[in-house]
Chains A and B, each alone.
Chain A
Amino acid sequence: MGIVSPGFQGRPRTQEPALPPGQYLTEDFPVLSAGPTPRVSLDTWEFVIAAENGSEYRWSWQELMALPQETPLVDIHCVTRWSKLGTTWQGVSLDTLLDGVDTGAHFALAHSYGGYTTNLPLDDLRGGRAWVVHTFDGAPLPAEHGGPARLLVPHLYFWKSAKWVRGIRLKTMDEPGFWETAGYHDYGDPWREQRYQGD
């Protein structure tokens, strides 16, 4: 426990749901990104998985929509300390997309329209824990929240759920992404409060 702040009580707390340490609940859907919101046309949109051996696997918008769709209901946790519970999405599991991709890589670098990148261990994109989503709360994902499609990896801090996702490069070596080179944690587990480098 830290030093007590004289006179600080905090907000009245009654049966708060179990949140990761240091998080508070929000009903809003805040926006956090480093620059302007890219606008991506569905006609030219594509999602590309590039394996470490150079082979590429591509999906157009229509092809993505034709894949089996899932509707994850998940809690999300932003490193700026808000958490939002029970959010509903629709999209394609990374298991589906990675099925048939020939790789021995252990790391993935997600990259986005607009240039954003974020790194994750490849295992964290597998096992029903990650999706490319295009629908939030029953409606097309708005651009400011990463539409037309974003990554959804709810078990890590939300900056790992790259907005405007364009593809994933598979890597044998870990390569830090955008926020990770700007002082944020390499992995970002909210339950272990891995916010910044060194946590």
Chain B
Amino acid sequence: MATSTPRTANRWQVGRLVERRVETPTAQTLVLEVPDWPGHLPGQHVDLRLTAPDGYQAARSYSVAGPVVDGPGGPRIEVTVQRVHDGEVSPYLIDVFGDGDPVEVRGPLGGWFIWRPEETAPVQLVAGGSGIVPLMAMIRARRATGSKAPFRLIYSVRTPRDVIYADELRRRIRDDFGLDIAYVYTREAPEGWRGEPHRIGLADVNTHGWPPDLQPLTYVCGPTGFVETVADLLVGLGHPSRRVKTERFGPTG
């Protein structure tokens, strides 16, 4: 039924950039201080809105990458932005948006593509490229809440250099009991990797996901073509559609 959406989700408020982290050559994490942030669930997103001097506005959605962090000036949230070649908003956020600059923020938004830490069902996460962001929010929330739900992540990237949150993921496989991660490389695999670069297929999902009889909850996020492919494979393997939640990040595959 209706998720309780805090009232502040419905208005634009001003956030400020307080920190920036380079994740890959094309993706950066932006830490925003949002004084009236009402809290959020892993998987939810914000809308960010930019205004030009002539009043022109552009808004885009970005998943919140992890739990809220307390800062000296109030709550902070993180988003991770992947540069879209010839894009209007993402290159601005990566190249121009400066320390202390304001941006309008609306959220949290989205009451469907969410994982609730009180869920105990096994979780399978399938990420393509920047589709890792809301899934990482789930992995981080699992750790932060001490959830014992078993998690499996399949993460498809072009090359090893494109793995967002690479160091943290390495740490988490070691420290977060019950979390497994499998990578699929589409263009270039790391030194010593077994197998050839390939697009995600039935064997990957079958080998590294949970079988349907364990009744896992599945979250698939990435470019549209990726999500279409993976969701079809999962249904083909016998996962009921109602337990496969998808979020499509962009129009192109």
Q: Which A residues form the contact surface with B (CB < 8 A)?
A: 1-11, 13, 22, 24, 26, 28-38, 80-82, 114-115, 144, 176, 178-179, 181-183, 196-199
Contact = CB atoms under 8 A, between A and B. Distances in A.
Interface in B87-140: 88, 92, 96-98, 101-104, 106, 109-113
B14 interface: yes
B5 A30 contact: no
A4 B56 contact: no
Contacts of B246: 33-36
Contact of A10 (B56, B104, B245, B252): B56
Nearest to A29: B251
A197 B10 contact: yes
A183 B109 contact: yes
B111 A181 contact: yes
A34 B50 contact: no
Interface stretch (B26-34, B142-150, B188-196, B227-235): B227-235
B61 interface: yes
Contact of A7 (B92, B104, B106, B244): B92
B104 A3 contact: yes
A115 B241 contact: yes
7 contacts: A6-B98, A29-B251, A31-B224, A32-B248, A33-B248, A115-B241, A182-B2
B161 interface: no
Describe B's contact surface by its main secondary structure: mixed
Nearest to B242: A115
A16 B228 CA distance: 32
B248 A3 contact: no
B242 A28 contact: no
B51 interface: yes
B232 A36 contact: yes
B53 interface: yes
Interface string B40-84: 000000000111110111111100000000000000000000000
Q: Which of B49, B52, B92 has the most CB atoms of chain A within a 10 A radius of its CB? A: B52
A164 to B, nearest CB: 11
Contact of A36 (B49, B50, B58, B231): B231
Nearest to A179: B112
A3 B10 contact: no
Contact of A198 (B10, B58, B231): B10
A182 B111 contact: yes
